A and B are shown apart, each in its own frame.
Chain A
């Protein structure tokens, strides 16, 4: 487990100084707004998404408190409906995807041995848009104008007749706004992972996490247009009198659901897949051996990303579609179990063959396996139409997707927080605090969500702000509410643990866990230029491979030091053959200005100030012209 962080002896101090001069940013306010460094942007994604997670979590606590007993009066139906709509919308759109994008942003360039993302300024732009869109949506809540049609916003409940006011305009515009950020991020990940990999990192040597991010990004590119179209049509219906979803004028209300779930089902995997990638990244370090069956796991990742586009109608099994089409979607939904099963058994086998080192990240991975498997079972149950028709839209489905999304995404995210915290901050965390957090979260999570299986089977529909006494639902709801408090304490302990690490943590080694991927081959935290010498890769586990260390040792060719400019290496897509060095952009204020222009556009549209929106569009266009204007060729 050698590390290649120190400069190779032969390289001398000169390249290091040159690199620092090229890449380091001054500690000024302006630099804070203009940075394009993927690590800083990644950290911002992580912090911002965590804040939105906290807000959505507080919403959840309020919802659970309201449901603790029958006919409770803590929240009015208006408040409850806004809170549950924001809870879902924020968890899906403002937490899960951006959080994983945050890890992707920080890690992908490091894992593939590059100095930044392929489009650093687009990356900064994506972050600012995410921040503004998130604030745009959350700001509606204190104003009493938050979305109240659920995160799925089915028409005709959400049309202008049944939902007057700004609620649904915030939803449609907010998601369109946010979609720009997600799309930009996805394109950036794909190009980065395909073109900037270190020489020698052919596709069969790409870390699973990077595979997962790339597959996810492709899914975003194919799935998001359906959601954008849906929201665009709904906005036109609401504001400009079109009738896409109005059956009385020849529109169709099921059109909304089809488009929504063509996005929405892949989105489940958009959230879960990078999380599965995290598990595949964490396990080798704590099993002291490589992941078993790498090609099958990659096959699993890629096939999930394709199959998930063929299963959307299983969200619509109760809408009276013809039985023949139901049975097709039922089969497709069942089949998706297979690639998940492949990954599960690859992890289990890796653990059975390795030597387990019990540290907090591994604990969270084990918690993930237990809960995700339960969520997987109920998922396979939902694939069967007859059973789905009985339990869909009941609390059983709430239990199911919290097992999948909390078990399948939050546990891996927490594993990732502890696993990469030393790399990101350069500080170690307190293992004791982390274990307390794990047990509280694990117990709290199960006590919260397990009883929902029961209340659902006992006939309790979801999305109800209250329920009558004496139907046998009371004890399960009370239990779930108590569980949610335990869960909240556990999650607070994670925050305490991170703050404690930042304040009191011991300095972290470059490779504290003995990881196998390239991010462990550089300093903790990494220098602004990531690697003094860009490594050459010879195997799937570059850091466990002495040839990688040799590739950056004395006598490393200037072609991989690249101290002359702000450069990184471009390689070929399949086998990562060296092509040429490419110039990376400097810091710039333009991403922030462009995002501000967009904010003005969407704010103007929201309040019917179309001239203001046009002004924002003009600002955006002018900024883009400046952004894309080619620099003068040096003569």
Chain B
């Protein structure tokens, strides 16, 4: 029940789904561009912004789009004119070399458009650079092949692939990578920022309405680049504070016998070598911190839904659904696996 509620809050905000008239028929691709926002469905669409940065870019896009439509119409008109009226034996070839017309139409007018658009583009660029002040909540995101480690400045605990932020506030995001380049992209909230090996880059998020927003690594990072998703959950400040407070607290203690046996299996088996569960002896740092794994939206950074069935499959052999990830198949005895699943599911 608790989980069902959580999932309900994780779903994309209802306002968006309500606006969507469904997928346009595939054939009318060209017409579809004119109703772009309507066709996105549940997509993490850059044209359905829920954050300050994405909203600025959306405005810029529509400006560019309509300019392009206008100029394209002009080109098609000239081309169509030539095709309709400049064919056939009776058409007289006109001599002369209208250099001035070409210069004005091909360079002069575009230059005026470009300078204007460039100015507006600079304004939006400056807006994107106008990040939060020093007192803002700061998230430290580290890219790994192929998952996201999430920590909060001043906090000890960590989570993975899921960033909680207070809605309506500017939140600083510091980006580092543990291995190769990645790129942090949550289309509905903010344009991309790359994670550069050997450097710390910075971006910020400002969600204007609560909800959960899909993001994905945008820089090719090897074998499982496709399965490096993340979620940003924007929630009211009080909810966020409560969530953040749990980040430093030890993980919940086992409450049933099955959970207790699962914890033993976890801490004494191979799991603990790579994973941490706060408040236990498991303190491996190779894989994600699992202290709140039961509450997460997915397994394997968006690879699988987080439910007991998939969790069991993931533990037994994570290479099936995400070949090449760092977790080898686990030789967990059949009797222990249900306990392990029960225990991990209880961590929330």
Q: Give residues in A with beta carbon < 8 Å to B.
A: 76-78, 81, 149-150, 154-157, 162-163, 247-248, 251-254, 287-289, 292-296, 318-320, 323, 326-327, 330-331, 334-335, 337-339, 341-346, 348-349, 351-358, 366, 369-370, 373-374, 377-378, 380-381, 383-387, 389-394, 446-447, 450-451, 453-454, 457-468, 470-473, 475, 478-479
Nearest residue (CB) in B for A154 is B181
Q: Is B324 an interface residue (CB 8 A)?
A: yes
Q: B199 to chain A: which residues have CB within 8 Å? A: 247, 320
Within 8 A of A (CB), among B69-110: 71-72, 75-76, 78-79, 81-83, 86-88, 91-99, 101-103, 105-107, 110
Interchain nearest-CB distance for A8 vs B (Å): 30
Interchain nearest-CB distance for B61 vs A (Å): 6
Which of B219-227, B269-277, B284-292 forms contacts with chain A? B219-227
Interchain nearest-CB distance for B73 vs A (Å): 11
B45 contact from A157, A386, A457, Cβ within 8 A = A457
A154 to B106, CA, bound (A): 37
Interchain nearest-CB distance for B84 vs A (Å): 10
Nearest residue (CB) in A for B181 is A154
Q: Are A351 and B198 in contact (CB under 8 A)?
A: no
Q: Is B126 an interface residue (CB 8 A)?
A: yes
Q: Are A391 and B46 in contact (CB under 8 A)?
A: yes
A460 to B199, CA, bound (A): 26
A319-B194, A458-B40 given; 13 more Cβ-contact pairs under 8 Å: A293-B98, A320-B199, A330-B118, A338-B106, A341-B106, A344-B106, A346-B106, A348-B75, A384-B125, A385-B125, A393-B218, A458-B45, A468-B302
Q: Are A157 and B180 in contact (CB under 8 A)?
A: yes
Nearest residue (CB) in A for B221 is A157
Q: B26 to chain A: which residues have CB within 8 Å? A: 475, 478-479
Q: Is B258 an interface residue (CB 8 A)?
A: no
Q: Is B248 an interface residue (CB 8 A)?
A: no
Interchain nearest-CB distance for A285 vs B (Å): 13
Interchain nearest-CB distance for B189 vs A (Å): 11
Q: A461 to chain B: which residues have CB within 8 Å? A: 185, 216-218, 225
Q: Are B125 and A326 in contact (CB under 8 A)?
A: yes
Q: Are A387 and B60 in contact (CB under 8 A)?
A: yes
Q: Is B202 an interface residue (CB 8 A)?
A: yes
Q: B188 to chain A: which residues have CB within 8 Å? A: 459
Nearest residue (CB) in B for A318 is B192
Q: Are B106 and A389 in contact (CB under 8 A)?
A: no
Q: Are A327 and B125 in contact (CB under 8 A)?
A: yes
Q: B102 to chain A: which residues have CB within 8 Å? A: 292-293, 296, 342, 345-346, 349
Q: A349 to chain B: which residues have CB within 8 Å? A: 98, 101-102, 105
Q: Is B8 an interface residue (CB 8 A)?
A: no
Interchain nearest-CB distance for B212 vs A (Å): 13
Q: B124 to chain A: which residues have CB within 8 Å? A: 384, 386-387
Q: Is B196 an interface residue (CB 8 A)?
A: yes
Q: Are B218 and A390 in contact (CB under 8 A)?
A: no
What are 19 residue pairs bridging A and B, where the CB atoms are less than 8 Å apart in the complex?
A77-B324, A78-B223, A156-B197, A287-B93, A337-B114, A349-B98, A353-B95, A353-B98, A355-B87, A356-B86, A381-B64, A389-B193, A392-B218, A451-B29, A461-B216, A462-B220, A464-B225, A465-B225, A467-B226
Q: Are A393 and B192 in contact (CB under 8 A)?
A: yes
Q: Are B128 and A338 in contact (CB under 8 A)?
A: no
Interchain nearest-CB distance for A510 vs B (Å): 22
Interchain nearest-CB distance for A327 vs B (Å): 6
Q: B323 to chain A: which residues have CB within 8 Å? A: 76-78
A352 to B44, CA, bound (A): 45
Interchain nearest-CB distance for A83 vs B (Å): 13
Q: Are A386 and B64 in contact (CB under 8 A)?
A: no
B100-143 contact mask (Cβ, 8 Å, vs A): 1 or 0:
01110111001100100110011011111100000000000000
Q: Are B197 and A384 in contact (CB under 8 A)?
A: no
A357 to B78, CA, bound (A): 17
A296 to B75, CA, bound (A): 19
Q: Is B41 an interface residue (CB 8 A)?
A: yes
Q: Are B75 and A390 in contact (CB under 8 A)?
A: no
Q: Are A318 and B97 in contact (CB under 8 A)?
A: no
Q: Is B56 an interface residue (CB 8 A)?
A: yes
Q: Is B36 an interface residue (CB 8 A)?
A: yes
Q: Are B181 and A156 in contact (CB under 8 A)?
A: yes
Interchain nearest-CB distance for A198 vs B (Å): 24
Interchain nearest-CB distance for B264 vs A (Å): 35
Interchain nearest-CB distance for B311 vs A (Å): 17
Given the contacts A331-B118, A374-B72, A459-B45, A157 and B86 also touching, CB distance less than 8 Å:
no
Nearest residue (CB) in A for B99 is A293
Q: Are A457 and B79 in contact (CB under 8 A)?
A: no
Q: Are B125 and A354 in contact (CB under 8 A)?
A: no
Q: Is B307 an interface residue (CB 8 A)?
A: no
Q: Are B193 and A457 in contact (CB under 8 A)?
A: no
Within 8 A of A (CB), among B197-247: 197-199, 201-202, 214, 216-226, 229
Interchain nearest-CB distance for B106 vs A (Å): 3
Q: Are A479 and B223 in contact (CB under 8 A)?
A: no
Q: Is B344 an interface residue (CB 8 A)?
A: no
Q: Is B54 an interface residue (CB 8 A)?
A: yes
A351 contact from B40, B82, B229, Cβ within 8 A = B82
Interchain nearest-CB distance for A398 vs B (Å): 12
Nearest residue (CB) in B for A471 is B43
Q: B42 to chain A: which residues have CB within 8 Å? A: 470-472
Q: A335 to chain B: which residues have CB within 8 Å? A: 114
A327 to B126, CA, bound (A): 10
Q: Are B56 and A369 in contact (CB under 8 A)?
A: no
Interface centre among B45, B99, B180, B201 (most CB of A within 10 A): B180
Nearest residue (CB) in A for B47 is A457
Given the contacts A326-B125, A345-B106, A457 and B180 also touching, CB distance less than 8 Å:
no
A381 to B68, CA, bound (A): 9
Given the contacts A154-B181, A389-B128, A341 and B107 also touching, CB distance less than 8 Å:
yes
A311 to B71, CA, bound (A): 24
Q: Are B60 and A288 in contact (CB under 8 A)?
A: no
Q: Is B187 an interface residue (CB 8 A)?
A: yes
Q: A342 to chain B: which residues have CB within 8 Å? A: 102-103, 106-107
Given the contacts A292-B98, A293-B97, A459-B43, A387 and B121 also touching, CB distance less than 8 Å:
yes
Q: Is B299 an interface residue (CB 8 A)?
A: no
Q: Are B82 and A356 in contact (CB under 8 A)?
A: yes
Q: Is B340 an interface residue (CB 8 A)?
A: no
Q: Are B60 and A337 in contact (CB under 8 A)?
A: no
Nearest residue (CB) in A for B92 is A355
Q: Are A472 and B106 in contact (CB under 8 A)?
A: no
A154 to B42, CA, bound (A): 32
Q: Are B79 and A252 in contact (CB under 8 A)?
A: no
Q: Are B79 and A345 in contact (CB under 8 A)?
A: no
Q: Are B191 and A454 in contact (CB under 8 A)?
A: no
Interchain nearest-CB distance for A352 vs B (Å): 5
Q: B88 to chain A: which residues have CB within 8 Å? A: 355
Interchain nearest-CB distance for B20 vs A (Å): 9
A279 to B43, CA, bound (A): 40
A85 to B102, CA, bound (A): 40
Q: Is B255 an interface residue (CB 8 A)?
A: no
Interchain nearest-CB distance for B54 vs A (Å): 7
Q: B218 to chain A: which residues have CB within 8 Å? A: 318, 392-394, 461-462
Q: Is B39 an interface residue (CB 8 A)?
A: yes
Q: Are B226 and A253 in contact (CB under 8 A)?
A: no
B121 contact from A293, A295, A330, Cβ within 8 A = A330
Q: Are B216 and A162 in contact (CB under 8 A)?
A: no
5 A-B pairs closest in CB distance: A247-B198, A345-B106, A472-B43, A472-B41, A389-B191
Interchain nearest-CB distance for B89 vs A (Å): 8
Nearest residue (CB) in B for A358 is B87
Q: Is B261 an interface residue (CB 8 A)?
A: no
A461 to B179, CA, bound (A): 20
Q: Are B110 and A320 in contact (CB under 8 A)?
A: no
Q: Are B46 and A320 in contact (CB under 8 A)?
A: no
Q: Are A253 and B181 in contact (CB under 8 A)?
A: yes
Given the contacts A77-B223, A157-B181, A457 and B46 also touching, CB distance less than 8 Å:
yes
Q: A77 to chain B: which residues have CB within 8 Å? A: 223-224, 226, 323-324
